[in-house]
Chain A
Amino acid sequence: MPVMTQKMTKVFERPRSLADIEFTYCPGCHHGLITRIIAQVIDELGIQERTVVVGPVGCSVFVYQWFRCDGIQSAHGRACAVATGIKRVNPDLIVFTYQGDGDLAAIGTAESIHAANRGENITVIFINNQIYGMTGGQMAPTTLIGQWATSCPDGRDAGLAGYPIRFSEMVAQLDAPVYVTRQSLYDQKRIMATSRAIKKAFQYQVECKGYSLVEILANCPTSWHMTPTQANKHIADVVTSVFPLGDLVDRG
């Protein structure tokens, strides 16, 4: 090895809040990217030692393992109720949930809506990939009309299964939430915007402003049967036409 004589400047490193454990996600999946962004935000805000990760059931069931923070696993859909309990008894903690579309917008609809309506001072990270990844690709509440899934083999039929739920729009019509936004990761510009949105959501919690929801349109190359590149293009061309990007509420 050559001896380095010049002084080196570190320009990129693993966030301190990100644990050195291998992800369980499929190659090309956006979950890992989102996890890294959150860890980066926790570092930047200096809140690692008071953050609690509230995990869901789904592909991200192990989310509490990826952070060097206290963490808890929730029953399917109950993360926002669990976060409520933690935050109410210890308001000094920074509490965030990390939930997929099934967890947040199907089985956990009641817990998710009411935590938002009470204006709990928590941050909700909502991963909308329009599919049930962990259980093998069944229909989600956010599955697009006509989209194939293992439990709608002819594509989602609105007459049988209704329409994709725009959960953020539902939350946005409530009075309490301070920040509701929908973001994506299909190109570098969107990744940077998502980073800023997540940081803002955590910042609002640190400032005790109240409830934030960051919905992220994520991919699932495995269950969509696409390459990661195709999946990104699908999000840009198709998914965003059903789930428009941008801030829905910002009362910060």
Chain B
Amino acid sequence: MRDKILIAGNDAIAEAGIRAGCRSYFGYPITPQNELLEYMSAHMPKAGGVFVQAESEIGAINMCYGASAAGARTMTSSSGPGMSLKLEGISYLAGSDLPCVIVNVARGGPGLGNIAPGQGDYFQATKGGGHGDYRMIVLAPATIPEATELTMLAFDLADKYRTPVLVLVDGVLGQMMEPVEFRDPVDPATLPPKPWALTGAQGRPPNIVTSFFLDPQELSELNLKRQDRYRRIVTQEVRYEEFETGDATIVIAAYGTVARIARTTVKLARNEGIKLGLLRPITLWPFPYAPLRALSNRVKVILTVEMSAGQMLEDVRLAVAERAETPFYGEMGGIVPTPRGILMEVKKYASYDAEDDQGF
């Protein structure tokens, strides 16, 4: 029987990283993720691992690039402004096919924004951000237990597909506490070997880690191979959760903290006889287009709710096309929507629920 402990999101994600067999962490302080870095500074050395407080987020991500190239499971974390700095390194990680786990405890933006929770980094996380044709798996937990599960999964996916993986949470999930039952730790010695890693050219030709290929044909072929790998990820790694969608006529699409709040809205709405459901993408890339498409064939409204001006909304609309209405409700600046606030938005479309379709 494993113990349940009460732990804050930032600490829990750090602990999950160590339990995933990660023995190197490089970071730079930024609110609201500081506790993650502090937890690593205390616990990584105890686990026999490496902790370095870097000179900047650029330094940190490039230390990860080096550590990953040397074959180690490695991790960094930041928040909005720091994530912007890491994008250069993320492009190089992707371009060199290196695994790495990155955590963004997102805050209000753009610019320095504020330190309250936000979801305005969705485009940056899912559409590239850095230069070149690359993708990054993006995992968006809605609870702290799930954040620990997904952080451990992130390391497996990063190694399996040799790609950076982002765990995207926000200030709420980073700061709040919940009871967590951790999975058993992974012994780094039991992880599969990485024959491509820089371990010294002993008894083999030199290994080279690079994203630099002057020959257009060669670079094109490498990109095509990488795109094949991305297609495999799209086929195999989509994760999402549906809640009360079976008989729903209105469905909320939301992720992370907002999805958690929207769950309460679903219960409130159902108490009032509104057939509301929730679709929660767990992977933001690859995005659950197919389940949304399926839903859009039988519901009338898919309401996207985000702590942004409407970023995931674009993916929802790609999935739904014209098959259902796709309104949006968003809050910015670090304002967190309430269950009743979302319910008020839902009620605007509740008339669409009428049998005779008069609402349209």
Contact = CB atoms under 8 A, between A and B. Distances in A.
Interface of A: 48-52, 54-55, 61, 64-65, 67-75, 78, 81-90, 92-93, 110-111, 113-114, 118
Given A49-B200, A89-B67, 10 more contacts: A49-B201, A65-B208, A71-B206, A71-B208, A73-B209, A85-B26, A85-B62, A89-B24, A89-B70, A93-B199
Contacts of A118: 52
Interface stretch (B53-61, B146-154, B307-315): B53-61
A78 B212 contact: no
Interface of B: 23-24, 26, 50, 52, 54-56, 58-60, 62-72, 74, 88-89, 92, 96, 198-203, 206-212
Nearest to B24: A89
Contacts of B203: 49
Contact of B212 (A61, A90, A93): A61
A73 B211 contact: yes
A110 B206 CA distance: 30
A120 to B, nearest CB: 9
Contact of A72 (B24, B52, B55, B208): B208
Nearest to A65: B208
5 contacts: A48-B201, A61-B212, A78-B59, A82-B65, A110-B56
Given A70-B208, A71-B206, A110-B58, A86 B66 contact: yes
A88 B63 contact: yes
Contacts of A65: 208
A82 B198 contact: no
Contacts, number: 136
B83 to A, nearest CB: 16
B85 to A, nearest CB: 11
A48 B50 CA distance: 25
A82 B63 contact: yes
B203 to A, nearest CB: 8
A72 B209 contact: yes
A89 B201 contact: no
B211 A49 contact: no
- Residue from B59, B60, B71 with most neighbouring chain A CB atoms (10 Å): B59
Contact of A82 (B50, B66, B199): B66
B278 to A, nearest CB: 41
A181 B193 CA distance: 40
A97 B30 CA distance: 29
A54 to B, nearest CB: 7
A78 B93 CA distance: 13
A86 to B, nearest CB: 4
A170 B183 CA distance: 48
A68 B68 CA distance: 21
B63 A72 contact: no
Given A54-B66, A61-B212, A72-B209, A111 B201 contact: no
B89 A75 contact: yes
